[in-house]
């Protein structure tokens, strides 16, 4: 959904202009002014939602950058590829009012950008090639053969739509439909460009630089205003939405703005203490595991996590220690452990290979 189009303002309108446009539209469409008109009620809701998105400067900034999905970007990880709302918004509905003659705005397009964890964390400018409808080079997007110009459609007089008035028992009913002759564009190309058959756009490849802000997470979308497909016959470009997908990291897992790393250490290291070398996004660091560390203990390295998207500071790195209990002990190792248990006055109940219990407390006496 494009709140600017719904409100009938340009993308660089001031907050004041947006407010005035909303008040005007809301007055026209308000349910009290249109009792029983469900279409007006639906439009009223859409216009109100549009105003919610761009009526406040902070929310508007988010919307301009991230589209509809960015307005509720909280922690990371939500909205895993919730494309539903986007597809609904741009491929389904061309139905919002204000369809006038003349070049129409191109639909929006969507692309996916795969990033490594550190690229998502620190941000990156990535050059991407994307296949889009682009303006025809031969006719510069006009659709007209060289030296010719479009002429006003005679069926609709350039309005792009044809109105019909019918009388019924309920009174006059006015219906408007897109003009068939000019496909709603309001003009006709008398001698079409041969390269694009008069459409003004051809399928092509465009190279774009996508600036990814630090802290972005999988499923979040960037909105590249006006950098989407070109429109037939010189209409405004659509937007390009870039959905971010972050590849999983070998050792680090993201949780909001924190990073989690699980380290497995032998039980002897847990008991005696040790140093661990941890790979972080900033390079390797060493952390100290004190003697007597328990299974599941978590060590927090402040500020070694993900930078906060559009904010300050970074999350933390949480190093979780898993204590590995040795398996398949040799006879000698078992003896040492039994003696160790004995020294500590711990009762040892063994299970032999046939599954029988035997008490060994006195075996060494």
41 forms part of the interface with Zn ion (CB under 5 A): no
Residue number with CB closer to Zn ion (181 or 247):
181
**Measured distance between the N- and C-terminal CA atoms of the chain, rounded to whole angstroms:** 83
Place of tokens 């070998």: 250
Cβ-based neighbour number of residue 225 at 10 Å: 17
Enumerate residues 128-157 that contact Zn ion by CB under 5 A.
136, 138-139, 153, 155-156
99 forms part of the interface with Zn ion (CB under 5 A): no
Shortest distance in whole angstroms from residue 193 CB to Zn ion:
3
* Cross-strand pairs, 314: 307
Residue number with CB closer to Zn ion (196 or 318):
196
Shortest distance in whole angstroms from residue 161 CB to Zn ion:
8
Residue number with CB closer to Zn ion (55 or 102):
102
Q: Which two tokens stand for residue 69?
A: 């999905």
196 forms part of the interface with Zn ion (CB under 5 A): yes
In angstroms, the CA 336 to CA 341 distance is: 9
Residue number with CB closer to Zn ion (134 or 297):
134
Q: Contact at 8 Å (CB) between 273 and 297?
A: no
Q: Which stretch binds Zn ion (CB under 5 A): 66-74, 195-203, 246-254, 257-265?
A: 195-203
Residue number with CB closer to Zn ion (139 or 317):
139
Q: Contact at 8 Å (CB) between 261 and 318?
A: yes
Shortest distance in whole angstroms from residue 68 CB to Zn ion:
32
Shortest distance in whole angstroms from residue 204 CB to Zn ion:
12
Shortest distance in whole angstroms from residue 16 CB to Zn ion:
36
335 forms part of the interface with Zn ion (CB under 5 A): no
Shortest distance in whole angstroms from residue 135 CB to Zn ion:
8
How many residues bind to Zn ion according to rule CB under 5 A?
12
Q: Which two tokens stand for residue 18?
A: 């947006």
Q: Which stretch binds Zn ion (CB under 5 A): 13-21, 111-119, 194-202, 214-222?
A: 194-202
Enumerate residues 174-193 that contact Zn ion by CB under 5 A.
179, 181-182, 193
CA triple 129-131-135, angle to 5 deg: 110
CA triple 139-110-44, angle to 5 deg: 95
195 forms part of the interface with Zn ion (CB under 5 A): yes
CA triple 235-237-239, angle to 5 deg: 150
Residue number with CB closer to Zn ion (156 or 240):
156
Query: What crossing angle do the helices spanning 57-66 and 15-29 adopt, rounded to 10°?
Result: 90
Q: Which residues lie below 8 Å from residue 289, measured CB to CB, with a gap of 6+? A: 265, 269, 270, 273, 274, 275, 276, 299, 321
Residue number with CB closer to Zn ion (109 or 156):
156
Shortest distance in whole angstroms from residue 233 CB to Zn ion:
9
Shortest distance in whole angstroms from residue 43 CB to Zn ion:
24
- Which is it for strands 283-289 and 357-359: parallel, antiparallel or unpaired? unpaired
Q: Which two tokens stand for residue 187?
A: 């003009």
Query: What crossing angle do the helices spanning 57-66 and 38-54 adopt, rounded to 10°?
Result: 100
Shortest distance in whole angstroms from residue 195 CB to Zn ion:
5
Residue 148 phi, psi (nearest 5): -115, 165
Residue number with CB closer to Zn ion (193 or 319):
193
Q: Which residues lie below 8 Å from residue 294, measured CB to CB, with a gap of 6+? A: 270, 321, 323
Residue number with CB closer to Zn ion (220 or 230):
230
Give contact residues for Zn ion (rule: CB under 5 A): 136, 138-139, 153, 155-156, 179, 181-182, 193, 195-196
């Amino acid at each position: 959904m494009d709140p600017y189009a719904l409100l009938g303002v340009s993308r660089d309108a001031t907050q004041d202009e947006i407010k005035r446009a909303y008040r005007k539209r809301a007055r026209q469409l308000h349910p009290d002014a249109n009792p029983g008109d469900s279409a007006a009620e639906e439009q009223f809701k859409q216009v109100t939602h549009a105003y919610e998105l761009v009526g406040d400067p902070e929310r508007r900034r988010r919307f301009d950058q991230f589209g509809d999905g960015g307005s509720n970007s909280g922690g990371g990880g939500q909205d895993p590829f919730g494309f539903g709302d986007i597809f609904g918004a741009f491929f389904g509905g061309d139905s919002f009012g204000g369809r006038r003659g003349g070049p129409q705005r191109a639909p929006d397009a969507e692309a996916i950008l795969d990033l490594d964890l550190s690229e998502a964390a620190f941000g990156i400018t990535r050059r991407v090639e994307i296949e889009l409808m682009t303006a025809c080079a031969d006719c510069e997007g006009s659709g007209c053969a060289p030296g010719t110009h479009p002429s006003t459609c005679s069926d609709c007089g350039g309005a792009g739509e044809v109105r019909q008035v019918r009388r019924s028992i309920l009174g006059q009913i006015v219906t408007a439909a897109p003009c068939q002759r000019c496909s709603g564009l309001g003009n006709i190309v008398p001698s079409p460009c041969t390269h694009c058959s008069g459409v003004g756009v051809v399928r092509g490849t465009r190279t774009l630089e996508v600036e990814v802000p630090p802290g972005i997470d999988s499923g979040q979308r960037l909105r590249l205003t006006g950098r989407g497909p070109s429109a037939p016959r010189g209409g405004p470009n659509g937007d390009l939405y870039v959905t971010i997908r972050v590849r999983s990291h070998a050792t680090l897992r993201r949780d909001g703005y924190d990073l989690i790393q699980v380290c497995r250490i032998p039980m002897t290291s847990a008991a005696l203490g040790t140093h661990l070398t941890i790979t972080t996004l900033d390079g390797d660091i060493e952390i100290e595991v004190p003697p007597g560390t328990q299974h599941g203990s978590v060590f927090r390295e402040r500020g070694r996590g993900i930078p906060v998207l559009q904010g300050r500071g970074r999350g933390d790195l949480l190093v979780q220690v898993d204590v590995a209990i040795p398996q398949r002990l040799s006879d000698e190792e078992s003896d040492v452990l039994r003696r160790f248990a004995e020294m500590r006055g711990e009762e040892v109940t063994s299970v032999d290979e046939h599954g029988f219990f035997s008490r060994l407390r006195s075996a060494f006496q």
